[in-house]
A and B are shown apart, each in its own frame.
Chain A
């Protein structure tokens, strides 16, 4: 279980997070929605310790993340970055197998490569991309390699930052199914950021909407459509008019 209590984060004058409170139950899929630039990516980075919040407490499985051994903590996490963040000096398979090749439980090279190829297959990539370099792939393919890397070590907690942006509708469907499978079959806890309402409905157990630096609305996916919250309604129906200004 991940809990966030009163998280604040500002960049100079830009007060991005202004008191975020959120609970992500273990083994559930939480989807975060919200306008561009509202701080969704920053929120995930705060949990991972890549960005230090100005104030507030984040706990993972009851332990305060600032007081636990970061290596131990991070070994339970997988993260897909919004921009893919693939290591461009390494071939695709090595990117995917990066964690498997190091640490105490390191696998032999051939075995790690086999796992990488299997993970690539799960995100809809053929074995021949394994030996290409990230720069030789299309944007959507890079995204999927990033996804394969995030799930390669079968982490307990997985963060996906916009897993389906830049993918065609069919591939989006494949990725949505994959995320669902990971949560249901492997019992992982997932936090996914997405702008795609089809993905939200396919992936989410719970939904949280970030707006103006706070969680504007949160609840089970089943309650989303019936909620009277005007911000949420404007967002899920993609209306230009409403309480959320178009220029932010």
Chain B
């Protein structure tokens, strides 16, 4: 009997462990937010984080958006041709990029790039006792390490998403006029005519949430890294996986909130 039930018991334990870690993450998030508003503030660390998280992610996010926009144009064209609706390509590309693909793919790329590097950096600091050293030097690790990164990501990712939107639409436009025989002026007019401010705005809000999630996961797993190189490796992996899954989950919730009434 016990051997038969073993997988069930295992599943139960996993579920409990997952719920417990969800609770810990929520606590960590609340603690981060509470430290956001209490001095001291570390401006230099914040500026540095803004640079590494925002500015240096531009190429990756830009490339992702460019190719996605291009592929999206091809797909919509092929799909639209089935019921003679090729003319929807520009507006679907614009709406698809700004509402969904810009923020989600941008967020996922930032998760891969930033959550991993934050977790590895903070994890290494943890296992080499640098976090302990910070504490003995009267510096709160949460304020010094977590807050600047989380704040920087929350502010920088929407900007990245905005840039990604523009580049993605440009990708669709380039494919549209070179491969699909669209007239340049018609493509642009269609894009602008059907795009609403909230299409872009909702994507930017999503970007901010995803930025928060990515940096938070990086910091959380880094701070809770186990000992040794293996511990840091595990922390890095968990940070990327958790950040990615949470981006997709929050994306669904936000879409539900924003677009169903």
Contacts and interface: CB of A to CB of B under 8 A. Distances in A.
Contacts of B132: 45, 48, 50, 81, 85
Interface residues of A, number: 23
Interface in A72-125: 74-75, 77-79, 81-83, 85-89, 98-99, 102-103
Nearest to B130: A85
A94 to B, nearest CB: 11
A48 B136 contact: yes
Contact of A102 (B129, B130, B135, B139): B139
Contacts, number: 46
Interface string B29-54: 00000000000100000000000000
B128 interface: yes
**What size tier do the contact residues of chain B reach?**
10 to 19
A77 B137 CA distance: 8
27 contacts: A48-B135, A49-B135, A50-B132, A50-B135, A71-B138, A74-B135, A74-B138, A77-B136, A78-B136, A81-B129, A81-B132, A82-B129, A83-B128, A85-B129, A85-B130, A85-B132, A85-B133, A86-B133, A87-B125, A87-B130, A87-B134, A89-B121, A98-B137, A99-B137, A102-B40, A102-B138, A102-B139
Given A50-B135, A87-B125, A102-B138, 20 more contacts: A45-B132, A48-B132, A48-B136, A49-B135, A50-B136, A71-B138, A74-B138, A75-B138, A77-B136, A78-B136, A81-B132, A81-B133, A85-B128, A85-B132, A85-B133, A86-B133, A87-B130, A89-B121, A98-B137, A103-B138
Interface of B: 40, 121, 125, 128-130, 132-139
